[in-house]
């Protein structure tokens, strides 16, 4: 897979994509080499998984009359797909623009893909989020301009995850809608704006060198090698996956390094319980923010069992929703068979596209589940429920028993022979 192909795939996926999805589409070594280019890609962690965000230095020219520059000569509204015709250039393939696109390696992008890339990189295209609106009490926070503010009155916490505060969470709310329309942002883009602003935040954090919560490749190993767990990893220190005695490891960031926690198994036991948002102990890990005290925390694990069903000690993920009594129920479990979709099916859909919205039924009711927000919505009543994705707990004793069964199995040689090693090798 070439760099231009990787970039095109990311831009077609709203400007960011899971690294695992990229690896599934191409050779592991090629993908890792390509996304290590800091001029075009920024890697981060989101929802416990590694993602890559597309980056570019190319911008739109803001001058009405330009005698020649290194920016694109293109109508902003045309780029956004909303200009009926004006004096500015609508020719993406003009000699000047093709030269600029070629210099930045963007010549293979179509207009929509280029639009997604520039939206998250060029601050000229979208209004910034109002800092004062997001601080202080009252309907406008500290913002003295109120509804006439030219910045976006949208909740920043909502962009980072689920939030139930009084601030605006919908780009169709009156002030955000008016502000976006004033900047010529068409309604078809509204569904992508949350992802765009999340990506903008990642890129800004990277540029400011404040990305203590973001993990860059290839300096880091963020997945545990299940071949090492089974005693048959052939790569030693050159293995692109972390070597660990358990199929998971909890770490905290200390300076520029990640340090393993000695109580990983106890933290994991709590994390596997969907009711819990904190681990036990003197200094608990907050699972919602992935922090321990003031430090960033993270969880490493083996690949999902959905990706490698024939291998032992992969990670089995279960999906839960919270009912009105605060109980967490597994999808299509023995106690809740009524749902038309199971944890395994949700996991498959999630690994395919973690920004998707999944439709399913339970009894006579229809629901939608947003992976990005981790919210389940009743389509008739509008009732919203929290959703959590948690792994099945594997103790040290469980891991040792699984290893023993693996080595005793007469199918071991057959499995290794038939399936060989996953694509990342």
CATH for 32: 1.10.10
- When pLDDT is averaged across residues 282-299 and rounded to a whole number, the result is 90
- For residue 241, pLDDT over 80 is answered with yes
Number of domain units in the chain: 3
Instruction: Report the pLDDT value the prediction gives residue 167, as an integer from 0 to 100.
Output: 92
- The helix, strand and coil proportions of the chain, stated in percent and rounded to the nearest 5, come to 30, 20, 50
CA distance 248 to 299: 7
Query: Looking at 172-181, 217-226, 277-286, 369-378, which range is the least confident one?
Result: 217-226
For residues 300, 304, 305, 307, the Cα torsion angle rounded to the nearest 10 degrees is: -140
Please tell me whether residues 29 and 49 are part of one structural domain: yes
Judgement on whether residues 291 and 326 belong to the same structural domain of the protein: no
Whether residue 15 lies inside any domain: the answer is yes
pTM comes to 0.54
- Burial pattern 278-315, b for ≥16 Cβ within 10 A else e, equals ebeeeebbebeebbbeebbbbbbbbbbbbbbeebbbbb
Q: pLDDT tens across 70-98, in order?
A: 999 999 989 998 787 787 888 999 999 99
Query: What is the domain range of residue 243?
Result: 226-308+394-419
Residue pLDDT, tens place only, 323-379: 999 999 999 876 665 788 999 999 999 998 988 999 999 888 999 999 999 999 999
Residue 169 falls inside a structural domain: no
DSSP tag of 316: P
**CA separation (Å) from 323 to 81, 271, 330, 361, 367?**
42, 19, 11, 16, 14
**Domain boundary residue, one of 11, 38, 54:** 54
- The answer to whether residues 235 and 372 belong to one domain is no
Residue-averaged pLDDT of the chain? 86
pLDDT for res 13: 95
Does one domain contain both 248 and 301? Answer: yes
Query: With 0-12 CB in 10 A as exposed, 13-18 as middle and 19+ as buried, what is 418?
Result: exposed
Which of 17-26, 244-253, 335-344 is predicted with the least confidence, judged by mean pLDDT? 335-344
pLDDT interval class at 207 (50, 70, 90): low
Beta strands, E only, 90-245: none
What pLDDT, on a 0 to 100 scale, did the predictor assign at position 40?
93
Domain assignment present for residue 245? The answer is yes
Strands 49-54 and 16-18: antiparallel
Instruction: Please name which of 371, 418, 389, 375 lies closest in space to residue 330, comparing C-alpha atoms.
Output: 389
Instruction: Tally helices (H) and strands (E) across the chain.
Output: 14, 14
pLDDT in tens, 128-185: 999 999 988 888 999 999 999 999 999 988 887 778 888 999 999 999 999 999 988 9
Which pLDDT score, from 0 to 100, does residue 311 have?
84
Residue whose C-alpha is closest to residue 228's, from 236, 218, 217: 236
């Amino acid at each position: 897979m070439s760099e231009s192909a990787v970039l095109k795939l990311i831009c077609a996926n709203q400007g960011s994509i899971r690294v695992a999805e990229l690896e599934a589409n191409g050779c592991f070594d090629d993908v890792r080499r390509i996304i290590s280019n800091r001029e075009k890609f920024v890697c981060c962690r989101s929802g416990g998984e590694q993602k890559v965000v597309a980056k570019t230095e190319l911008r739109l020219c803001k001058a009405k009359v330009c005698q020649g520059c290194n920016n694109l000569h293109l109508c902003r509204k045309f780029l956004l797909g909303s200009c009926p015709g004006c004096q500015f250039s609508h020719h993406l393939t003009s000699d000047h623009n093709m030269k600029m696109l070629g210099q930045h390696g963007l010549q293979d992008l179509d207009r929509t893909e280029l639009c997604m890339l520039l939206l998250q990189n060029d601050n000229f295209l979208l209004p910034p989020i109002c800092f004062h609106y997001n601080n202080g009490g009252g309907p406008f926070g500290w913002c003295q301009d109120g509804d006439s503010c030219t910045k976006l009155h949208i909740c920043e916490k909502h962009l980072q995850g689920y939030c139930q505060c009084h601030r605006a969470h919908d780009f169709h709310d009156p002030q955000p809608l008016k502000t976006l329309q004033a900047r010529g942002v068409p309604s078809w883009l509204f569904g992508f704006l949350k992802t765009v602003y999340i990506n903008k935040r990642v890129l800004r954090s990277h540029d400011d060198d404040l990305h203590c919560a973001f993990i860059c490749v290839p300096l880091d190993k963020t997945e545990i090698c299940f071949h090492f767990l089974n005693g048959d990893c052939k790569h030693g220190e050159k293995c692109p996956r972390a070597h660990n005695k358990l199929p998971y490891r909890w770490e905290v960031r200390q300076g520029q390094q990640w340090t393993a926690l000695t109580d990983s198994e106890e933290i994991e036991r709590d994390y596997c319980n969907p009711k819990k948002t904190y681990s036990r102990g003197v200094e608990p890990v907050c699972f919602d923010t992935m922090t321990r005290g003031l430090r960033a925390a993270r969880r490493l694990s083996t690949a999902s069992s959905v990706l490698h069903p024939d291998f032992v000690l992969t990670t089995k993920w279960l999906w839960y929703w919270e009912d009105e009594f605060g109980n967490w129920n597994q999808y299509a479990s023995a106690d809740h068979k009524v749902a038309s979709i199971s944890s395994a099916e949700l996991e498959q859909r999630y690994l395919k596209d973690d920004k998707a919205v999944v439709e399913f039924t339970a009894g006579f009711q229809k629901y939608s589940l947003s992976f990005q927000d981790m919210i389940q919505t009743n389509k008739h009543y509008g009732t919203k429920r929290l959703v959590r994705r948690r792994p099945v707990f594997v103790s040290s004793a469980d891991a040792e028993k699984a290893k023993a069964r693996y080595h005793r199995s007469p199918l071991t040689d057959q499995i290794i022979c038939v399936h060989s090693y996953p694509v990342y090798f």
